[in-house]
Chains A and B, each alone.
Chain A
Amino acid sequence: MSYQGVWTLAEANDGEIKIVSYELLTRGRELADKLRCELASVLICGRIDEKDAEELILRGADRVYLVSSPELEHFVVGSYSNILIDLIERYRPEVILSAATTTGRTLMPHAAVKIKAGLTADCTELDIEEGTGNLLQTRPAIGGNIMATIKTPECRPQMATVRPKSTRPAPRNENRRGRGEIIRIELAPALLDRRVERIGFRKNPGEDINIQGADVVVSGGRGLGKKENFALIRKMAELLHGVVGASRETVDRGWISYPHQVGLSGKTVTPKLYIAVGISGAIQHLAGMKTADIIVAINKDPDAPIFRVADFGIIGDFLEVVPQINQSLAKEGERSEV
């Protein structure tokens, strides 16, 4: 039997489907249309309401393979990988996309190894090669210094993780109601890896650390001068409905915690808007934010390299500039609420 169809791996947390699942459907729909094949989503999770799973159909999936069980509440790669491989062997998709989240980046290599599939990490562009129908996977590498296009000519399925926020979520289309099928797959207990036990969970004290899931990231660097000045950054982030990022310098100094770090040894973010305040723009920092849609830099040094990648730059002291911006944004906010 040959391999056919495009799959996206949806993710859910606490019974709620994560937005990145819909971003994958945007990618998947494009590829499925080019290949003239079906688009399916696989959802492995603890629990989900039928109507929430249907959301995947409204947003583009022709089928949903749903494996839900209380025993799958928390991601354990051994179990998820066994389930995914079982589904792949049964239904043989040609392409599998997952988000480049901590889950996707753990699950995909684990599964790919076992079935000898090619896997490309953290893609920002996907296409189909004319003639061969091979998946063309493009990704930044070496700190964003190069863009590499990769394909898997012989092995199937072709697997790729896709950078979160690198595309828009597929919109809901009410006309698609009833146009897809949810296929519930009974969990075979033998597929569970019971060796790994989740014994605790804690939130990052204080604030949202999912900087990869945010539309707006406002980051502070060593130029802030001291820890307390992150309050100005937090305020701006809040006014723009965004989250706080940071350069490594500030994390190493203990001004802010590691989950906020953007860059080579931190997280890679692709928000709509990235604002760098008091950040010089070292190559290792750029590696983590260069693919943002819009980059804004606020720095007092006109020669700071960050200005070379900025769409809008303000040369000035952040202590003067940021409070003024915050004030104007606050006014803007009041106006829009009326």
Chain B
Amino acid sequence: MKIIIPIKQVPETSNVKIDEETGTIVREGVESIVNPLDLYAIEAGIQLKEERGAEITVVSMGPPSAEKALKEAIAMGCDDGILISGKEFAGSDTWATSYTISRAVKKLGKFDLILTGERATDGETGQVGPGIASFLDLPVSTYTSRIVEVTEVSIVVERLIEEGYEMLRMPLPALVSVVKEICFPRLPTLRGKQKAKKTELARWNADNMDIERSALGLNGSPTRVVKIETPKVTRSGEVVRVTDEESLADAVERFLTFLRKKGIL
């Protein structure tokens, strides 16, 4: 089967800078990693490949440095990678991103399954997966926690919803976005890394894709970031220390008083 996995390169969460003027994330000079939640999509794809044979293409839209993310996915076991990069894509919101990736999928031709992460840890929207499915009119399962069965023509999955787990059957091709529960991502092997080094990535942009320019990047994005603030993290709370019986009784009493004051009890 043919599997496509869109992955995003994101800054390490503990290390983030914002461009005050445009309100977008500064990617230069910050350590970048594969979106941690995309590793689960990659692993789920590789497991399908091991079970029943598959060819996996990873696709990333981002700056040239996103090449590293694609190579890492290949080192884990994916087969080839496509980097969608160019000024025309800068400032894309989830609408423009979903559009661009859906056009890349079109260009790739026949496929059976698209796997995405639940959300990217920078933008944290989780909108791109369902967005791609909508552009391509694919059946979709979000918050997928288990792939139960795959045949030539269909897939059965379990998705984690508020009330429990629901099982869905859908025809292929389909889009499945996954949560962490689905698997445990492997580390790249040395052999994988060597293979990744040798793998030539395809480079796509608006010139070699069948794509509407006016729908790309900031221009094609319905939303605008108008303000960025760094919220105050610290709260000045009351802290009590327990060292012996007496301070324990005191701490518990003060805790209950606190809860009463806050209207919890």
Contacts and interface: CB of A to CB of B under 8 A. Distances in A.
Interface of A: 13, 74, 77-78, 81, 101-103, 105-114, 116-122, 136, 140-155, 193, 195-204, 209-210, 212-213, 216, 240, 257-259, 261, 264-266, 272-273, 283-284, 286-287, 290, 294-296, 302, 307-317, 320-321, 324-325, 328-329, 332
A283 B130 contact: no
A150 B234 CA distance: 25
B164 interface: yes
B183 to A, nearest CB: 11
B262 interface: yes
Nearest to A193: B139
Interface string B217-230: 00001111111111
Given A109-B126, A113-B130, A148-B227, 9 more contacts: A101-B162, A113-B95, A121-B125, A149-B227, A198-B166, A198-B168, A199-B156, A311-B237, A325-B256
B108 interface: no
Interface string B112-138: 000000000111111111110111000
Nearest to B23: A148
Contacts of B258: 311-312
Query: Does more than half of chain A's interface fall in helix, strand or loop, or is it mixed?
Result: mixed
For the complex of A and B, the 5 pairs showing the least CB-CB separation, nearest first, are A316-B242, A118-B222, A200-B167, A109-B127, A121-B125
A121 B126 contact: yes
B122 A102 contact: no
B168 A199 contact: yes
Given A148-B227, A264-B121, A265-B36, A204 B171 contact: no
B18 A146 contact: yes
B119 to A, nearest CB: 8
19 contacts: A77-B142, A102-B159, A106-B140, A109-B126, A109-B131, A110-B130, A113-B98, A113-B131, A148-B225, A149-B229, A150-B223, A154-B222, A295-B235, A311-B235, A314-B251, A320-B248, A325-B256, A328-B253, A329-B265
Nearest to B140: A77
Nearest to A111: B134
A118 B223 contact: yes
Nearest to B93: A118
Interface of B: 11, 13-14, 16, 18, 23, 25, 36-37, 93-95, 98-99, 121-131, 133-135, 139-143, 145, 156, 158-171, 179-181, 221-231, 233-235, 237-243, 248-249, 251-253, 255-256, 258-259, 262, 264-265
B248 to A, nearest CB: 6
B142 A106 contact: yes
A151 B226 CA distance: 7
B165 A204 contact: yes
A102 B16 contact: no
A152 B133 contact: no
A284 B226 contact: no
**Which of B170, B234, B252, B265 is most buried by chain A, counting CB atoms within 10 A of its CB?**
B252
Nearest to A20: B162
B237 A152 contact: no
A290 B233 contact: yes
B82 to A, nearest CB: 21
Contacts of A81: 134
A5 B142 CA distance: 30
Given A154-B222, A155-B222, A266-B180, A309 B234 contact: yes
Contacts of A149: 225-229
B264 A273 contact: yes
Contacts of B141: 196
B13 A145 contact: yes
Nearest to B182: A258
